[in-house]
Structure 1
Amino acid sequence: MAVLRDAARLGIMEPFARWKLRRDLVYTRSLRAKKLANGNGHTNGYANGHVNGNGNGHSNGHTNGAANGHSNGELDTSSQHVLERKEDRDMHRKVLRFAEQAWSVIYYVATWSFGMYVYLNLPATIYDRSPMWSSYPDIPIAGPVKFYYLLQTAFYLHQVLILNAEAKRKDHVQMMTHHVITIALIGASYYSNFTRVGCMLLFLMDWCDIWLPMAWFWMICRVAFRVVMGENAEDERSEDGSEDQTVAAKKDQ
Structure 2
Amino acid sequence: MPPPSGPGADREAGAGYRAVFAVPEFRHVFAAHLLSTLGVVLCEIALSVLVHRLTGSPRTRAATLGDVLGEGDLFVLGRSVIRIINQSGQLAGFAAGGLLLCAMPVGAITGEALAGTFLGPRARARLTFPLGVFCVLPSLGFAARPSLGWAVLLLVLTGTGIAYNFGVDRWFVAAVPDELLGQAMTVMQAGRMTIMGLGMGAAGAAAEYAPLWVVMPAGGVVGAVSVLLVVSEVRRTGGDRFPAPDAAGIPA
Q: What TM-score do you get using the length of structure 1 for normalisation? A: 0.30
Which one has a larger percent helix, Structure 1 or Structure 2? Answer: 1
Q: Greater CA radius of gyration, 1 or 2?
A: 1
Larger RCO (CA under 8 A, 6+ residues apart) = 1
